[in-house]
Structure formats: structure tokens, C-alpha cells
Amino acid sequence: MTPVPPPYGPVAAATRTQRIALLVGLLVVAWLALQLFASILLPFVVAAGIAYFLDPPTSRLQRLGVPRWLAALLLLATVLLLALLFVLLLYPLILAQFAILITRLPIYVNLARTAADDLLAQLQTQLGPEFVDERLRELVASQTGAVLAFLVTAVTRLIGGGFALFNVLTLLVVTPVVGFYLLRDWPEVVRHVDSWLPRRYAGVLRAQAHEVDRILSAWLRGQAMCCLALVIYYAVALSAVGLDLGLIVGMASGLLSFIPYVGSITGLFVAVGLASAQFPTWMGVVMVVGVFILGNILEGYVIYPRFLGDRVELHAVWVIFALFAGWAAFGFLGVLLAVPAAATIGVLSRFWLRRYLQSQLYLDPPHDDATP
């Protein structure tokens, strides 16, 4: 069969400089796009994440004979109903618990000041007045209360006005509409992107894209199930032991668990502090600590092996760095893009490491300069 000639005549082979220039140009355009449109990209990134998350069940329904547009509509409607159920049922409870926190804030501030003053008094007794004087004690006690008040007020405003981040238009119109179209046309989008790949490297790029998809899908779906399980466990367990703010502390601990170790450690310190102020005896604090010890055991030996296992090749330190770097660069949008970027960089790094270990740059034997 005679090959079909290119429509504009014979194509010259691309030079190495052209390939490097194309790659650098794409990276620069992507960076500029993020810098220029970061303020409006959030609903589109969320919609793309929803479409990516729901593509496998949508494809399964399509294989069962359900039209893809109908499968996409049903799954998105289910997600929206669950979100609406959360708003109607849990959001008022969370606000009620924050109202309790606001009313008790002066008590917590006084307790923090007293604890700081007692600690400094003990240090003054042990080390002497030349190390800890009265002015330092007054300064630390006052600043401790001020810092605690600032943190609690900031978190309260963030939770109370959290929906300002996702305004009504974004929540009710933009994200669902964009998510529906992306989910409906996901196979077409993938085919179009695949058709744009340079033919010389199409096979290599497809293999790396499949590896990124394998790692990313395992992390996202597995981490979502782990966070949900931990949210339920901590919220129920802390409420069961009688912690007044157990619902919000448990939910925050579970949601923050997508950052390795941050959720459990932060939740432990906050819960122990609240329990020390609430319970008259140490038994309540011991029960709260027991909740987190059991939670860490379940997290390490039951939940994470069940939902994540060994499928995810993302080291905890790499995930933490990516999340903080994403927040520093683009705020909340950067957090959403951090793990996909980390997974992509990890796959490409392993690919180039394998290429390096098979190259003459690594295998070239050392020269024997010894004189006979």
C-alpha cells in the first residue's frame, strides 16, 4: 500500500533545537496561563477533577447500554444531591458547634494564659529570675491568649464564610455544567489529545500518561475513601467520648489526613487541648488520646492498606512538599493541582532515571590511568 503523502509536501525531520523549543514553549504557556487566569480557573479545575473521578463508573454504565450523556447526568446528579444533603444536614451542626466555640473562647484564652504563666513560673523557680523575669512572663501570657484568639477567630471566619470561596454561581451553575460536558465528552477529549501527540514519541508519551493515570487514579480514589472513613470514625468517636466540639474536630482531622500525618497530629493536639479545658478529670483526656491512638492503628493497618495498598508510588514527603509548594504558588488552586503535578513529575523522573541507568553516561567504564 502506497503511503499517503503529507498535504503540504514532504516534512523535514525536526531538529533537537525545535523539539526543545516546543517543550519549553508549552511549559511557558502553561505557566503564564496559570498566572493570568488563576482567579477564574478554580471551578474548571474542580469540574475536571469531578469528570476524571467519575469517568470509570460512567464508562461502566455506558458498556451496560446506558447512553453516556445519561450516565454522566445521573452520576453528576448523585454527587450534587450528596453535596446538598451535606449542606442541609451537617453544615448547620458545624455552625452550631462553632457558636459553642465562640462562646467558650474567653474561657480557652484564660486557660491558655494561666497554663503559660504556670509554666513560666516553674521555669523561673528552676532556672532563676535571671533567665525568666516578670516582664517575660506577662508578655508570654498575653501573647498566648492573643494568638489563640486569632487562630480560633480565623478558623471560624474561614468555616463560616467558606462558601464565599465557591460562590453560588460557581457551585450551582459553572462547575456542574462544565463537569457534565467534560464527563460526557471525556473519551473524545482523550482521543483529540492523543491525536496531537508527536508521532515520533507517541508510544512513549502514551505509556507515561497511562502510568500517571494509574498512580493518580489510585491515589485520588483511594485517598478519598480513606478520608471519608477517617472523617466518620473521628467525628463519631470524639462525639461519643463527650467532646463538645468532637464533630468539627473529627471532620477536620479526617479531611486533613490527605496530607500525611498532618490530620491526625493536628486533630490530636486540638482535641487534647479542648478536652483539658472541658473535662474536670484526666479520664476525658485519656479517652480522647485513646481515640487517636486507635485511629492511627486503623489508619495504618486497616484503612490505608485496604484503599491504597502498594499501588501508589507517591512518597509521603513528596506529597507534603507538593501540597505546600502548590499553596505557595497558586493558593487553593495550587493545592488542587499539586498531586497531579507530583504524580506526573514522579513518573517522568523515574522514566528518565531508567534511561540514564541504561545510557553510556552511566555505563561508561572508568578509565584506567595507572601506569604500567
CB-side exposure of 298: number of CA atoms within 13 Å?
A: 18
The overall average pLDDT reported for the chain is 78
Q: Are 213 and 340 in contact (CB under 8 A)?
A: no
At 248-282, the pLDDT tens digits run 888 888 888 877 777 888 889 888 888 887 887 78
Residues 6+ apart with CB under 8 A from 343: 212, 215, 216, 219, 314
Q: Are 270 and 243 in contact (CB under 8 A)?
A: no
Helices (H) and strands (E) in the chain, counts: 14, 0
Q: Are 304 and 314 in contact (CB under 8 A)?
A: no
> Residues of the chain with pLDDT > 70: what percent?
75
Q: What is the DSSP letter of 162?
A: G
Query: What is the reported pLDDT for 136?
Result: 53
Query: What is the reported pLDDT for 183?
Result: 92
The residue whose grid cell reads 473519551 is: 187
Grid cell digits, residue 187: 473519551
Grid cell digits, residue 179: 463537569
pLDDT(155) > 90 = no
C-alpha separations of 12 from 3, 8, 22, 25, 241 in Å = 16, 11, 16, 21, 73
Grid cell digits, residue 318: 513528596
- The Cα 105–Cα 128 span in angstroms is 33
Mean pLDDT, range 101-118, rounded to an integer: 69
- The Cα 224–Cα 335 span in angstroms is 15
- The Cα 145–Cα 111 span in angstroms is 9
Grid cell digits, residue 330: 497558586
Grid cell digits, residue 323: 501540597
Q: DSSP letters of 294-311?
A: HHHHHIIIIIHHHHTTT-
At 27-51, the pLDDT tens digits run 898 888 888 887 778 788 888 888 9
- The Cα 293–Cα 274 span in angstroms is 17
Q: Which of 227, 286, 199 is nearest to 3 (CA)?
A: 199
Mean pLDDT, range 53-71, rounded to an integer: 92
- The Cα 369–Cα 126 span in angstroms is 66
More confident residue, 175 or 103: 175
| Residue 183 CA from chain centroid, whole number | 22
Please tell me the least confidently modeled range out of 63-77, 112-126, 141-155: 141-155
pLDDT(325) > 80 = yes
- The Cα 197–Cα 100 span in angstroms is 57
Query: What is the reported pLDDT for 62?
Result: 92
pLDDT(52) > 80 = yes
Query: What is the reported pLDDT for 68?
Result: 94
Mean pLDDT, range 290-319, rounded to an integer: 79
Query: What is the reported pLDDT for 302?
Result: 82
Mean pLDDT, range 212-239, rounded to an integer: 87
Query: What is the reported pLDDT for 1?
Result: 46
> Residues of the chain with pLDDT > 90: what percent?
14
Query: What is the reported pLDDT for 147?
Result: 56
With the CA atoms of 273, 99, 264 and 313 taken in that order, what torsion angle do they form, in degrees rounded to the nearest 10? -160
Query: What is the reported pLDDT for 17?
Result: 83
Most confidently predicted of 62-66, 97-101, 248-252? 62-66
| Residue 90 CA from chain centroid, whole number | 22
The letter for the amino acid at 231 is V
CB-side exposure of 220: number of CA atoms within 13 Å?
A: 22
